[in-house]
Structure 1
Amino acid sequence: MNPGLVILISTVTLALSVVGGWYATRSVLALAARSVAAEAADPEAAPGAPPEPPRGPNSVRAVAALRGGTWIGFLERFAVTGLVLAGDATGVAIVVAIKGLGRYPELRENPEASERFVIGTLASLVWSAGLGILGRAALGWWA
């Protein structure tokens, strides 16, 4: 296979994983927050009463507890997609383990942050692994 084509496919796959995964993960978190808001809606609240602060994965408390999450997500997707392209499933497991262990103190203290972490991580992993598989298939197709 042409080395230039390998570099092109790999670079495009990694870029789509990192950037597109940000949009995909934020969309999934927004959907999860909508379901929490619908459950928390109080039909008996007095008209004009101040709204309750948002709860769930997009609450201020959850976002604050998981500071740096955007950059961690970028790096996670880059690593996972790159490892899938390279055919290294063990490396993916190591990335997931490091992320979980690194966030354990924040997750133990804050259940809303825990919900955000699980939803965001799964969305990010599915996106990045899926693109890695597609990129690997494209590399095999042009081989």
Structure 2
Amino acid sequence: MIALVIVALVVSALAPIPPLLGLRSPTARRVAAGLGVLGVAVAAIAAAETDPVTGVARGLVLVLGVTAAATGAVALVPLLFDIVRAEDDRGPAPGDSDPDTTDPDSTDPASATVTTPLRGGRLIGVLERTAVAAAVLAGWPEGIAVVLAVKGLARYPEIRAAHAGEQFIIGTFGSVLWALAVAGTAHLALY
């Protein structure tokens, strides 16, 4: 069973390669995110059915767990942004009154719409997921709070712009939840 855990974590870690190579279409993101999620799901089921891993396999699970946590959301987070954009494109339902749908004041720079990801988001996300997974696997869950605090403080000036805060929250939640799922799966195989 441990071989299945390792193979599934490899699939999950390698799933985002097409988007990293430039295939950034929504279909490529869906396939990559689906393979990543499938890999983690299979690894979790197999890890639940196996004894705690030891030796070289233990090292492989640790390395692959952190790697899959770091790389897997490279396709998943942009897919979450696609879902949000699709929701925004539909607009409010008839009868809904949302004060946030009014036209922004063009003289206020903080109300300008952010149409591109926050600068450096992909690299910051990889580092964030690596740190979260390492903290969980090291048995230091407080490290998650440290990572999120540092990220929030560093991004604070940027997330004050319209829609940047929403993008920050969606990206961070998707990223951290992915890292926790993968690290939890690796932890299940290890203990």
- Out of 59, 63, 76, the position equivalent to 1:11 is 63
Cross-structure match for 1:52: none
| Structure possessing the higher relative contact order (Cα contacts under 8 Å, 6 or more residues apart) | 1
Cross-structure match for 1:73: 125
Cross-structure match for 1:132: 183
Contact 2:66 2:133 in 1 (8 A): yes
Question: In proportion to residue count, which structure has more helix?
Answer: 1
Alignment of 1:87-106 (within 5 A): 87-106=139-158
Contact 1:80 1:128 in 2 (8 A): yes
Shift of 1:132: 0.8
Cross-structure match for 1:34: 86
Task: Give the TM-score normalised by structure 1.
Answer: 0.78
Shift of 1:121: 0.4
Partner letter of residue 87 of structure 1? Answer: G
Calculate percent identity across the aligned residue pairs. Answer: 33
Shift of 1:62: 4.2
Q: Structure 1 CA distance, aligned partners of 2:156 and 2:115?
A: 14
Cross-structure match for 2:166: 115
Q: Structure 2 CA distance, aligned partners of 1:139 and 1:63?
A: 39
Contact 1:25 1:123 in 2 (8 A): yes
Partner letter of residue 85 of structure 2? Answer: A
Runs of 5+ unmatched residues, structure 2: 1-52, 93-112
In structure 2, the CA distance between the partners of 1:134 and 1:19, relative to structure 1 (3 Å rule), is same
Partner letter of residue 134 of structure 1? Answer: T
Task: Give the TM-score normalised by structure 2.
Answer: 0.59
Q: Secondary structure at the match of 1:63?
A: coil
Q: Structure 2 CA distance, aligned partners of 1:97 and 1:10?
A: 25
Shift of 1:5: 1.6
Shift of 1:87: 1.4
Shift of 1:90: 0.7
Runs of 5+ unmatched residues, structure 1: 41-59
Q: Secondary structure at the match of 1:80?
A: helix
